[in-house]
Amino acid sequence: MPPEMNETEQRSAAKAEIRHPLSDNDRQAVAVMRTAVAQLKGTMSDPKARAPFDDVMEHTPGARQVRYEASTLNGVTGIWCTPDGAHPKAAILYLHGGAYMLGSAQAYRHFAGQIAARSNAAVFVAQYRLAPEHPFPAALEDAKAAYRALVESGVDALALVGDSAGGGLALALLSAVTSEPVTPVAAAAMSPWTDLALTGASLEERADEDPLLTKDMLSKTCASYLRGRDPRDPLASPLYGDLAGSPPIQLHVGTSEILLDDSRRYAERASSAGVEVTLHIWEGMTHVFASSVGTLEAAEEALNLLGRFLGAKLGTRPASTESSLR
Compute the residue count for the chain: 326
Q: What is the CA radius of gyration of the chain?
A: 18
Beta strands in 87-135 (DSSP E): 90-95, 122-126
Report the first-to-last Cα separation within the chain, whole angstroms. 33
Given the residues 17, 257, 300, 301, the one annotated as active site: 257
Does the annotation count 152 as an active-site position? no
State how far the Cα of 211 lies from the Cα of 321, in Å rounded to an integer: 31
Alpha helices in 211-273 (DSSP H): 215-226, 260-272
d(CA 167, CA 160): 9
> Which residues are 71's β-sheet partners?
78
Phi, psi of 241 (to 5 degrees): -85, 175
Can you tell me the distance from the alpha carbon of 52 to that of 58, in angstroms, rounded to the nearest whole number?
10
Residue 170 to residue 193: CA distance in whole angstroms:
10
Catalytic residue among 104, 119, 164, 191: 164
Phi, psi of 186 (to 5 degrees): -170, 165
Give the residue from 258, 255, 243 showing the smallest Cα distance to 279. Answer: 255
Residue 164 known to be catalytic: yes
Given the residues 119, 287, 292, 301, the one annotated as active site: 287
Contact 141, 91 (CB under 8 A): no
Kind of pairing between the strands at 76-83 and 66-73: antiparallel
Number of H helices, E strands in the chain: 10, 9
Identify whether 257 is a catalytic site residue: yes
Which long-range CB contacts under 8 A does 47-52 form with residues at least 24 apart?
47/101, 47/102, 47/130, 47/132, 47/133, 49/101, 49/102, 50/98, 50/101, 50/102, 50/103, 50/104
Q: Residue 23 has what DSSP assignment?
A: P
* Active-site residue set: 164, 257, 287
